Amino acid sequence: MSQAGFPHSPTTLTIDLDAIVQNWQFLCSRTGHGRSAAVVKANGYGLGLSPVARSLAAGGCKTFYVAHLDEGIALRQVLDKSDIRIGVLNGLLPGQEEVFLEHRLWPSLCDPGQIDRWAAFCRANSIPLPALLHIDTGMSRTGLDRTETADLIDNPDRLQGIDLRFVMSHMACADDPAHPMNREQQQRFADAVNRLPKATEGAMLAASSAIFLGSDWHFDWVRPGVCLYGVRPNTTAPNPMKPVVTLQSRILQVRQIDAPESVGYGASHRAEGPTRIATIAVGYADGFLRSLSNSASAWLGDIEVPLVGRVSMDLVTLDVTAVPTAQAGDTVTLIGPNQDVDAVADKAGTIGYEILTSLGARYARSYVGGVA
């Protein structure tokens, strides 16, 4: 176990690195081919790029994806071995070609201009350089649109000089297994892959949720992200992923109030009778969202204690009347066995992604297992 972050914080975020590796291995086993990358963008989904990536590499992962070029540079500094491949999903801006080459990063080519620039750069260096080709099949964000994809099919020489490793796309509704767009995107992608020049490592469509749609979505590789970190792939079945994070905080103060006293900003909660209020050092500056005001819970041992009043920047207040022995220094659990990341997200009216990537930098961080 290793420590990081704010060592004197009364709030600790515990990250199980072994669980992340086991989740990656489990997702590999969901495919018939066992070929899986790992997405570690946004600082390893908020859990720490270096310990997450190093642990996954030690567990067997050799291909990683990030969103931004600077994330790729940071990851290359963590994983500098020649067998580690790093792709950057957000594309290739003009003037970045030398940077990709210097740090041995693969750009995702998302429009014809990016294809042309990378091909010209490869020819200028007299060497094929790796890249991914991203085609849009329904997200309307990045990637070649229908017309651009058709043009590339008709003019495959535009890829000349490029070491094309993957053709990829991204799903819009994979977390809803019944959504008809899932099959539409799969068929559209399969049709494009069959008509485009072959990539040396094949086609890649499924991220986390799409892995659970079935083998038709697995193609040659998968690239899980949020499921590695314990977030559920969809809401239609029990979560098969191992939990990764635990968030606990020590009580700062306990006070007794009575009706009609109020709690917190805006007096949004008023005591209806004798009430014991515990204050803990978690707030929206730490990623505990303001939308959790008067709706979240924590646990003191096996007893649920509701959050009352508004979530403020640095503090929240809990009704611990049901635990008459509660006192300053006691530990409450906000994310753990009784309430996972997705349960907190449901109460906040958001998704597990947002909770996970928002968990604050002011916590003490405790890494368990892995290579921290």
**Confidence at 271, pLDDT banded by 50, 70, 90:** very high
**What is the pLDDT averaged over residues 182-190?**
98
For β-strands 297-300 and 129-134, DSSP reports them as: unpaired
Angle between helices 112-125 and 146-154 (to 10 degrees): 40
pLDDT in tens, 7-48: 899 999 999 999 999 999 999 999 999 999 999 999 999 999
Interval 208-235: pLDDT, tens: 999 999 999 999 999 999 999 999 999 9
List residues forming the annotated binding site. Answer: 141, 313
In the prediction, which pLDDT does 2 show? 63
Contact 173, 206 (CB under 8 A): no
Catalytic residue among 45, 62, 81, 265: 265
Supply the pLDDT for residue 361: 86
Is the pLDDT score of 294 beyond 90?
yes
> Which pair of tokens denotes residue 343?
């349960």
The residue whose two tokens read 């978690």 is 282
Catalytic annotation present for 45:
no
The torsion angles phi and psi of 108, rounded to 5 degrees, stand at -90, 120
Query: Residue 239 and residue 50: Cα distance in Å, rounded?
Result: 26
Instruction: Tell me what the mean pLDDT of segment 340-352 comes to.
Output: 96
Residue ranges per structural domain of the chain: 31-229, 245-368
Residue 3 has pLDDT above 70, yes or no: no
- CA of 240: how far to CAs of 28, 43, 211, 330, 339, in Å? 13, 24, 12, 32, 15
Spatial CB neighbours of 20, under 8 Å, sequence gap ≥ 6: 47, 52, 55, 56, 228, 229, 244, 370
Asked whether 257 and 50 are in contact (CB, 8 A), the reply is no
The residue annotated as part of the active site, out of 41, 45, 353, 367, is: 41
Place of tokens 């399969």: 190
Q: State both tokens at 236.
A: 């239609």
Q: What is the pLDDT of residue 371?
A: 86
Q: Answer whether residue 5 shows pLDDT above 80.
A: no
Contact 249, 307 (CB under 8 A): no
Q: Is 62 a catalytic residue?
A: no
SS (H, E, C) 107-144: EEECCHHHHHHHHHHHHHHCCCEEEEEEECCCCCCCCE
**Is residue 4 predicted with pLDDT exceeding 80?**
no
**Tens of pLDDT, residues 70-124:** 999 999 999 999 999 999 999 999 999 999 999 999 999 999 999 999 999 999 9
Predicted confidence at residue 7, as pLDDT, reads 86
Q: Are 62 and 83 in contact (CB under 8 A)?
A: yes
Tokens at 192, concatenated: 């494009």
Query: Going by CATH, does the domain composed of 31-229 fall within 3.40.50.720?
Result: no
Share the mean pLDDT of the chain: 96
pLDDT digits (tens, 9 = 90+) for 187-216: 999 999 999 999 999 999 999 999 999 999
The confidence score (pLDDT) of residue 1 equals: 60
Quote the pLDDT of residue 13.
97
Annotated binding site for substrate: 141, 313
CATH of segment(s) 245-368:
2.40.37.10
Please give the C-alpha separations between residue 301 and each of 171, 187, 345, in angstroms, as whole numbers.
40, 50, 21
